[in-house]
Amino acid sequence: MKPIDYKSVSLKEGFWKRVRALNATVSLKNIYRRFEETGRFDAIRCERREKPPHIFYDSDVAKWLEAAAYLQADYPDQDVRAIIDETVRTIVKNQLPCGYFNSFYQVYQPDKIFMERTEHELYCAGHLIEAAVALDKCGVNSDLLPAMCRYADYIFERFYVCRDTGFTTCGHPEIELALVRLYEHTGEKNYLTLAKYFLDERGKRAEEIYPNMDRAYDQSHMPVREQRDAVGHSVRALYLYSAMADVGRLTGDEELLTACRALYDDIVCTKLYITGGVGSGWYGERFTIPYDLPNAEAYAETCAGIAFVFFCERMAMSGNRAEYHAALERTLYNNVLAGESLDGKAFFYVNPLEADAKYAAYARTMPGMPIKPLLERVEVFDCSCCPPNLVRLFGQIGGVVYGEEDGVLYVDQYISSEVSACGMTLSLMTDLPYSGSVSAALTGNGRIAFRIPAWQTSIACWVNGAEVTPEQREDYLYFAVDGQTNISIRFGMSVRFVYANARIRADVGRKAVEYGPFVLCAESADNGVELSALEIPSLDNATIERTEYGVRVRVPAYREMPAQALYTYRSPVLKECELILIPYYCWANRGEQDMQIWFL
Amino acid sequence: MKPIDYKSVSLKEGFWKRVRALNATVSLKNIYRRFEETGRFDAIRCERREKPPHIFYDSDVAKWLEAAAYLQADYPDQDVRAIIDETVRTIVKNQLPCGYFNSFYQVYQPDKIFMERTEHELYCAGHLIEAAVALDKCGVNSDLLPAMCRYADYIFERFYVCRDTGFTTCGHPEIELALVRLYEHTGEKNYLTLAKYFLDERGKRAEEIYPNMDRAYDQSHMPVREQRDAVGHSVRALYLYSAMADVGRLTGDEELLTACRALYDDIVCTKLYITGGVGSGWYGERFTIPYDLPNAEAYAETCAGIAFVFFCERMAMSGNRAEYHAALERTLYNNVLAGESLDGKAFFYVNPLEADAKYAAYARTMPGMPIKPLLERVEVFDCSCCPPNLVRLFGQIGGVVYGEEDGVLYVDQYISSEVSACGMTLSLMTDLPYSGSVSAALTGNGRIAFRIPAWQTSIACWVNGAEVTPEQREDYLYFAVDGQTNISIRFGMSVRFVYANARIRADVGRKAVEYGPFVLCAESADNGVELSALEIPSLDNATIERTEYGVRVRVPAYREMPAQALYTYRSPVLKECELILIPYYCWANRGEQDMQIWFL
């Protein structure tokens, strides 16, 4: 089973090419501007300032470099190129002779290098390594790679050979998956060895923990192979699980993969929002307990959604690919896309599933309230991990489309694109997410398989114009390709009710509406306030209108009319109304207002 | 319109006499023990200790004294009497020559006396004054009254005459209503003048506010006469509104009464839980915004419920008495009664309307989480205002039963008791809250009116054995009494669905069940877990069983069965089951478990 990575896939006109273009032309530059203004790029100059940089500024810059690398090929830009080259030069110049680079420690606390477990040091290193691999692989800049190999060698020397550091595993996983990427790109086995070492050592001893947090917060409560419940900080968890899946696959380590499957099942069966968001608890940005999925109070950090996409992508390489790709699709089209505004300029860190504008306004007036709903996206956060993370995911989005297994070319996600693999050349055109039409123009000889989306209501297939009933196995449709072959598939796509597990207190007795991969929502701009009092009796008379961003659905509904009194013995009066639904990811682009996903 | 106070009313066998007896024989002593152990009684000895007492320990002791005063007449106890006398002696002995008494300030910060607005100084004075009045009125101890009159005189001198204090109004209202009680007991007009002065000055200037709080927190955001929305800390608010109602009634100040009516309406129409709890927001223990009434996260402090009872009681003296007494009844039988365990030993500060034991257990493992659900009552809190507040309310509960207006004797609450008023002697026997049977044996001549409870489903009346249709006006039934008269009333009492206003997000689409004055709830001990998935289609086949604590109701119901998956396109499967409901106030007496009030 092999991945077919972003380098081999070129996107064609369609929904995702537009998203990627927006990120290349708007988001990337806007994030750079805000990072420059907030001193993130200044930090890597490693000059001592009165106010030290934040401990993880290097990772912000690194993620920006990585994102820029993916986008340069298709969206070349002299200014961006100049920033990349200058940034790489600065990093290389300031790297210590031993290979070490960290703009905070080497300038402000050189005596504390590799001594403080909870300060994101190896996390920053991991993101720099990922950036170096991407820059080299995309042919944008090849100077960072050798520098970061030297850094990785130094980490190997200190953590694995000498073992003279103040901690064994980093408080924020990331280095592990970065080392795997570096190994896959360079072939240097020490990097895989070190990744596996970091995984194996985690949870084996009581290392330094974060203030006010337990050992589970950074998944150090037990050896990773024994872990079965997804717990702790959700981004940390999913970066760790991604590395476990990587090392498991590359070393054939079934114990690691067994743990990964159990962790995935725990998330998907008990801790996943309908939007694909994960990490419901704001306290510690954590996974909490099974079925604890509040809507207005959802945390569901954008970075956690991105990390879950990474994890699903890796898990799909070890079997059951349809299931993992269905989960990946849910998160990508909903939680992750919602992280960015439609104009590409602003971002959500927290992604609630319900919004109450009046309450948010009230909370703003309470100075000491620890968490306040944010109902509009902002350009930069103090902790600004999510914006560049989104751009780097969208930059490499081609990597989630295809896979190769036993010589079969798998179409896992429906994104218009071209690829050559398994002895075939494929031009994939799809109307998704607007409708379920897929057409594949193939040359060559081989076998191709198309994932059957969970949301389809019907399937019809044609090969070279003739309707066929293809082989169907484990949620894929299999076709033989023999010379020039045109395959058309029409997946029925319509609005459907979705019901939550009755154990989810927040949703029981309610239903959501999905259209294809989109979870839909209602906003006040279309539907007035008090959206939680809306009841959808049926979707039979829904009308679906295509828009630039997906769909707008109109459906006859009822509104429970508020009585005069607060409590009454009379059952509520229902009034007919029309409910307008839009894709969840489009919410909060028209000012602060109410939003609702779950209806009566 | 005149109150008929607790002194004139003697309770007879029944529900409330049992509650009061439990408080006299168990709660009062248990609270004393815990207060003694935690240094509260030690504090008033005014000896300098290494660890200063809490700023409001005096108020805890004062509320205990007041409660003890009410209960001594009916439940004389040598030990309690000795504590009362010793405590009073200590306070009188340690009172400063000027009349001032505060165990914290006079010992630890004498230079800050009357300088710090936010430190509960006049709040403590108010409770001491209330205790002094109660002790004198009940004939238990008459030494505290002159001492507290001297203290009140000193406050009058400093705050009203000299105006040389560091603040004008106390950060925690209480002194205002205490001064009214002192005025009513002694007839000294200065006390009423001072109460009115404190009310009038509040919100007129920017005084010191609490850290992280706004001026609305202690209702100082605008002059009280202009206030229309119930805002800020709910106990502060309701003590203030109670004093406004008092002064408004005693001085015929319509502006104050207009403000009170608007504030009451705002609470009852937008901010009251079905349990009668108020102050939904844990942050600042505050009123939040209209219709923001979350269930599991409800604050609904016991003291706020008690303060709402005080406010309703006072408002009823200025017209619309049935409405105010209906609200008082709701709060008393649900939010307030729930504040104490059935054995009288333990107390809730926060009174949620839904409990999730699994989540509470999880929250306990998160050290820094600012609020954690507490699902079992405890003997003492750090801030232990609620326990003695409950006992002093139950001690004087006879005061809520009757009223006198235009020579008519009003029966406002159904509590078996005897009273002589309006030229009549009444012996009231009632089966409430078990059933709606009321019988009144009267002698003398006059008119009597019985409140028609909001929950009744039918009314039948008999005078001297003959069925009659009495005059019915503004939710009261009027009867003439001419010599020996026996009046019997049967209010139909059954289980009824109650629906919340559709603007309450937490409850819309759900219904609660009431039986007479009781809001019912389901607990896991009777019904298993996942109570939010229970649906009650109808109450037609409910069976009602009388228990010591009220009722146990069995009703056929459905349970939404959890699917295997977290989200599914199939509508949920319903399984028939029997639901067992008990009065809400009885919850959490059988270990930590789930609890639910609102059902599908």
- Asked whether B21 and B70 are in contact (CB, 8 A), the reply is no
Q: How many CB pairs under 8 A join A and B?
A: 151
Query: Per the structure block, which two tokens stand in for A214?
Result: 């337990």
Which chain B residues are Cβ-neighbours of A570 within 8 angstroms?
Answer: 499
List phi, psi (to 5°) of A302.
-55, -45
- Measured over the CA atoms of residue A105, residue A106, residue A107 and residue A108, the dihedral's sign is positive
Of all helices (H) and strands (E), which one includes residue B251?
Answer: helix B234-251
Tell me the average pLDDT across B231-235. 98
Which residue of chain B is at minimal alpha-carbon distance from A358? Answer: B289
Shortest distance, CA A270 to any CA of chain B (angstroms): 6
Interface contact A283-B510, CB threshold 8 A:
no
pLDDT at B1 over 80: no
Among the partner residues B212, B365, B600, nearest to A509 by beta-carbon distance: B600
Of all helices (H) and strands (E), which one includes residue A419?
Answer: strand A417-421
The pLDDT, as a whole number, for residue B367 is 83
Rounded Cα distance, B155 and A308, in Å: 65
Residue B544 burial (CB count, 10 A) = 16
pLDDT at B420 over 80: yes
Among the partner residues A272, A296, A533, nearest to B502 by beta-carbon distance: A533
Interface contact B510-A509, CB threshold 8 A:
yes
Residue range B110-131, pLDDT digits in tens:
999 999 999 999 999 999 999 9
Interface contact B501-A566, CB threshold 8 A:
yes
Residue range B252-291, pLDDT digits in tens:
999 999 999 999 999 999 999 999 999 999 999 999 999 9
Percent of chain A as helix, strand, coil, to the nearest 5: 40, 20, 40
Give the CA count within 13 Å in the CB-facing half-sphere of A575. 8
Rounded Cα distance, A583 and B503, in Å: 25
Interface contact A499-B288, CB threshold 8 A:
no
Rounded Cα distance, A376 and A360, in Å: 11
Interface contact B284-A366, CB threshold 8 A:
yes
Interface contact A530-B369, CB threshold 8 A:
no
Interface contact B561-A502, CB threshold 8 A:
yes
Supply the residues of B annotated as catalytic. Answer: 285, 385
- Asked whether A506 and A293 are in contact (CB, 8 A), the reply is yes
Query: Per the structure block, which two tokens stand in for B455?
Result: 């929950």
Please choose, from the candidates B328, B314, B305, the residue with its C-alpha nearest in 3D space to the C-alpha of residue B389. B305
Total residue count of chain B as it appears in this document: 600
Rounded Cα distance, A93 and B559, in Å: 67
Tell me the average pLDDT across B53-66. 95
Which chain A residues are Cβ-neighbours of B292 within 8 angstroms?
Answer: 359, 362
Rounded Cα distance, A446 and A406, in Å: 11
Please choose, from the candidates B351, B312, B349, the residue with its C-alpha nearest in 3D space to the C-alpha of residue B334. B351
Residue type, B577: C
Among the partner residues A283, A366, A566, nearest to B270 by beta-carbon distance: A566
Interface contact B212-A274, CB threshold 8 A:
no
- Asked whether B553 and B545 are in contact (CB, 8 A), the reply is yes
Residues sharing a CB contact under 8 Å with residue A128, sequence separation 6 or more, in sequence order:
A58, A59, A62, A91, A101, A144, A148, A151
The pLDDT, as a whole number, for residue A327 is 98
- Asked whether A294 and A228 are in contact (CB, 8 A), the reply is no
Shortest distance, CA A134 to any CA of chain B (angstroms): 36
Query: Per the structure block, which two tokens stand in for B537?
Result: 């289609």
For each of the domains in chain A, give its residue range(s) and CATH number, in order of start: 54-208 (no CATH), 402-454+458-491 (2.60.40.1180), 496-596 (no CATH)
The pLDDT, as a whole number, for residue B557 is 98
Which chain A residues are Cβ-neighbours of B533 within 8 angstroms?
Answer: 502-503, 508-509
Q: How far is CA B285 from the centre of its chain?
A: 15
Which chain A residues are Cβ-neighbours of B358 within 8 angstroms?
Answer: 289, 292
Among the partner residues B270, B508, B600, nearest to A533 by beta-carbon distance: B508
Shortest distance, CA B289 to any CA of chain A (angstroms): 7
Residue A588 burial (CB count, 10 A) = 24
Rounded Cα distance, B451 and B336, in Å: 21
Which chain B residues are Cβ-neighbours of A211 within 8 angstroms?
Answer: 368
List phi, psi (to 5°) of A520.
-100, 160
Shortest distance, CA B284 to any CA of chain A (angstroms): 9
Give the CA count within 13 Å in the CB-facing half-sphere of A87. 31
pLDDT at B170 over 90: yes
Which chain B residues are Cβ-neighbours of A496 within 8 angstroms?
Answer: 569
The pLDDT, as a whole number, for residue A212 is 87
User: B213, B566, B570, B599: which to substitute to probe chain A, counting the most A Cβ within 10 Å?
Assistant: B566
Residue A468 burial (CB count, 10 A) = 14
Which chain A residues are Cβ-neighbours of B511 within 8 angstroms?
Answer: 571
Rounded Cα distance, A219 and A258, in Å: 17
Which residue of chain A is at minimal alpha-carbon distance from B283? Answer: A369
Among the partner residues B500, B511, B570, nearest to A499 by beta-carbon distance: B570
Interface contact A501-B362, CB threshold 8 A:
no
Interface contact B532-A565, CB threshold 8 A:
no
Direct distance between the N- and C-terminal alpha carbons of chain B, in angstroms, rounded to an integer: 44
Residue B284 burial (CB count, 10 A) = 23
Place of tokens 């290392």: A207
User: B354, B508, B535, B561: which to substitute to probe chain A, counting the most A Cβ within 10 Å?
Assistant: B508
CA dihedral B164, B170, B174, B178 (to 10 degrees): 10
Residue B492 burial (CB count, 10 A) = 14
Rounded Cα distance, A294 and B530, in Å: 15
Helices and strands, number each (H, E), in chain B: 17, 24
pLDDT, tens digit only, all 600 positions of chain A: 778 999 999 999 999 999 999 999 999 999 999 999 989 999 999 998 888 988 899 999 999 999 999 999 899 999 999 999 999 999 999 999 999 999 999 999 999 999 999 999 999 999 999 999 999 999 999 999 999 999 999 999 999 999 999 999 999 999 999 999 999 999 999 999 999 999 999 999 999 999 889 999 999 999 999 999 999 999 999 999 999 999 999 999 999 999 999 999 999 999 999 999 999 999 999 999 999 999 999 999 999 999 999 999 999 998 889 999 999 999 999 999 999 999 999 999 999 999 999 999 999 999 888 888 999 999 876 777 899 999 999 999 999 999 999 999 999 999 999 999 999 999 999 999 999 999 999 999 999 999 999 999 999 999 999 999 999 999 999 999 999 999 999 999 999 999 999 999 999 999 999 999 999 999 999 999 999 999 999 999 999 999 999 999 999 999 999 998 999 999 999 999 999 999 999 999 999 999 999 999
Interface contact A499-B359, CB threshold 8 A:
no
Which residue of chain A is at minimal alpha-carbon distance from B498? Answer: A569
Instruction: Report DSSP letters for B372-425, one per residue.
Output: ----S-BS--SS--HHHHHHHHHHTGGGGTEEEETTEEEE-S---EEEEETTEE
Residues sharing a CB contact under 8 Å with residue A420, sequence separation 6 or more, in sequence order:
A8, A426
Residue type, B111: D
Residue type, A28: L
Residues sharing a CB contact under 8 Å with residue B466, sequence separation 6 or more, in sequence order:
none
Shortest distance, CA B276 to any CA of chain A (angstroms): 11
Which residue of chain A is at minimal alpha-carbon distance from B561? Answer: A502
Which residue of chain B is at minimal alpha-carbon distance from A359? Answer: B289
User: A508, A574, A599: which to substitute to probe chain B, counting the most B Cβ within 10 Å?
Assistant: A508
Rounded Cα distance, B558 and A226, in Å: 39
The pLDDT, as a whole number, for residue A412 is 97
The pLDDT, as a whole number, for residue A204 is 95
Tell me the average pLDDT across B365-392. 87
List phi, psi (to 5°) of A104.
-90, -60
Q: How far is CA A408 from the centre of its chain?
A: 26
Rounded Cα distance, B322 and B120, in Å: 35
The pLDDT, as a whole number, for residue B119 is 92
Rounded Cα distance, A504 and A272, in Å: 11
Residue type, A14: G
Q: What is the 3-state secondary structure (H, E, C) of B309-334?
A: HHHHHHHHHHCCHHHHHHHHHHHHHH
Among the partner residues A289, A501, A562, nearest to B502 by beta-carbon distance: A562
Of all helices (H) and strands (E), which one includes residue A182?
Answer: helix A175-186
Shortest distance, CA B56 to any CA of chain A (angstroms): 23
3-state secondary structure of B529: coil
Place of tokens 């289980």: B495
- Measured over the CA atoms of residue A76, residue A77, residue A82 and residue A87, the dihedral's sign is negative
Please choose, from the candidates B423, B421, B416, the residue with its C-alpha nearest in 3D space to the C-alpha of residue B401. B416
Residues sharing a CB contact under 8 Å with residue A411, sequence separation 6 or more, in sequence order:
A401, A402, A426, A428, A438, A440, A448, A449, A450, A451
The pLDDT, as a whole number, for residue A3 is 82
Which chain A residues are Cβ-neighbours of B231 within 8 angstroms?
Answer: none
Interface contact A366-B562, CB threshold 8 A:
no
Interface contact B501-A366, CB threshold 8 A:
no
Interface contact A567-B212, CB threshold 8 A:
no
Interface contact A501-B562, CB threshold 8 A:
yes
Supply the residues of A annotated as catalytic. Answer: 285, 385
Residues sharing a CB contact under 8 Å with residue B162, sequence separation 6 or more, in sequence order:
none
Which residue of chain A is at minimal alpha-carbon distance from B292? Answer: A359
Percent of chain B as helix, strand, coil, to the nearest 5: 40, 20, 40
Among the partner residues B270, B274, B569, nearest to A498 by beta-carbon distance: B569
Total residue count of chain A as it appears in this document: 600
- Mean pLDDT of chain B, nearest integer: 96
Question: Strand pairing partners for B42?
Answer: none
Which chain A residues are Cβ-neighbours of B509 within 8 angstroms?
Answer: 509-510, 532-533, 535, 560, 600
Residue A376 burial by Cβ neighbours in a 10 Å radius (0-12, 13-18, 19+): middle
- The vertex-B110 CA angle with B108 and B112, nearest 5°, equals 105
Give the CA count within 13 Å in the CB-facing half-sphere of B47. 6
Shortest distance, CA A102 to any CA of chain B (angstroms): 30
